C-alpha cells in the first residue's frame, strides 16, 4: 500500500510525522513524499524534505494531507486546489490532519460529508467548506473514503483508526504499544473540544 504524503511549505511537523510513524510500522506500506510546486519543502520547525513531483505517483492508494500555517495561503491558490482535487479523486483513501481538512474542503469533495479539524482553527476551517457537515466534538471522522482528524496529535489517533479499519484492532494496538502511545480510540470524543 503506497502512503503518499502531500507536502507544502510550513506544514505542521507532527501532522505529517505522527501518521508516518504509524504507517511506517506496517510492512505492506511504502511511504512517499510529494509536492505540487517545490522540490525542497521546509517548515517553521526547520524540517526540510526533498519531495518528488506529484506526476511521479505510481499508485494512488492513500493520500495524506497535513495541516499547518501553509494551509492559510494554499486555500486561496486555485491551481493548487485543482491539482489537489485531481489527486484526491485518484486516491483510494484521503486522510487529513488538522487544517489539512480546509484544503480538502476547498476542492468541494467534502461537500455533504462529515469532517472535523483542529479545534483552535475550527471557525476558520468552517469558512473553507460551508457545505461540509463539520463535527466539532470528534477526534476524527470517517465518511466515504475520507478520514479527517482534529489538531496535530489527533493524526496519530486517526492513523491508528485507519489501521484498525484495514488491518484489524490487534495491529493498531500493537503499533500503539510499540510507539508507547496511549491511543484515544474513541473517534467521537476529542477532549480538546
Number of domains into which the chain is organized:
1
Distance CA 30, CA 164 (A): 18
pLDDT for the residue 38: 76
pLDDT value at residue 1: 94
User: What pLDDT shows up at residue 66?
Assistant: 98
Domain holding 126, by residue range, is 2-178
CATH number at 126 reads 3.40.50.880
Q: What is the pLDDT of residue 37?
A: 85
34: Cα separation from own chain's centroid:
14
For the chain, what is the radius of gyration of the CA atoms? 15
> Per the domain annotation, does 128 fall within a domain?
yes
Beta strands in the chain (DSSP E): 2-7, 30-35, 40-42, 48-50, 52-53, 62-65, 93-96, 114-115, 133-134, 140-143, 146-149
Report the C-alpha gap between 115 and 128 in whole angstroms. 12
Intervals of the chain under pLDDT 50: none
Read off the pLDDT of residues 27-48 as tens digits, 9 standing for 90 and up.
Answer: 999 999 999 987 899 999 999 9
Residue 53 resides in a domain: yes
Asked if residue 165 is part of any domain, the answer here is yes
Size of the chain, expressed as the number of residues it contains? 193
In a domain, 29, yes or no: yes
Examine residue 92 and state whether it is found in any structural domain, yes or no: yes
Q: Given this model, what pLDDT does residue 139 score?
A: 98
Amino acid at each position: 500500500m503506497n502512503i503518499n504524503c502531500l507536502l507544502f511549505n510550513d506544514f505542521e511537523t507532527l501532522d505529517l510525522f505522527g501518521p508516518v510513524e504509524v504507517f511506517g510500522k506496517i510492512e505492506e506500506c511504502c511511504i512517499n513524499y510529494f509536492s505540487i510546486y517545490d522540490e525542497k519543502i521546509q517548515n517553521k520547525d526547520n524540517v526540510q524534505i526533498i519531495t518528488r513531483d506529484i506526476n511521479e505517483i505510481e499508485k494512488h492508494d492513500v493520500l495524506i494531507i497535513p495541516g499547518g500555517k501553509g494551509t492559510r495561503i494554499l486555500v486561496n491558490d486555485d491551481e493548487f486546489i485543482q491539482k489537489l482535487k485531481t489527486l484526491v479523486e485518484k486516491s483510494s483513501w484521503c486522510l487529513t490532519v488538522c487544517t489539512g481538512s480546509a484544503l480538502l474542503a476547498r476542492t468541494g469533495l467534502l461537500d455533504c460529508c462529515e469532517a472535523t479539524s483542529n479545534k483552535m482553527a475550527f471557525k476558520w476551517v468552517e469558512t473553507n467548506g460551508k457545505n461540509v457537515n463539520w463535527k466539532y466534538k470528534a477526534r476524527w471522522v470517517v465518511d466515504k473514503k475520507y478520514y479527517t482528524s482534529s489538531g496535530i496529535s489527533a493524526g496519530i489517533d486517526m492513523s491508528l483508526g485507519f489501521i484498525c479499519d484495514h488491518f484489524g484492532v490487534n495491529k493498531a494496538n500493537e503499533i500503539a504499544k510499540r510507539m508507547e502511545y496511549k491511543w484515544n480510540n474513541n473517534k467521537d470524543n476529542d477532549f480538546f473540544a
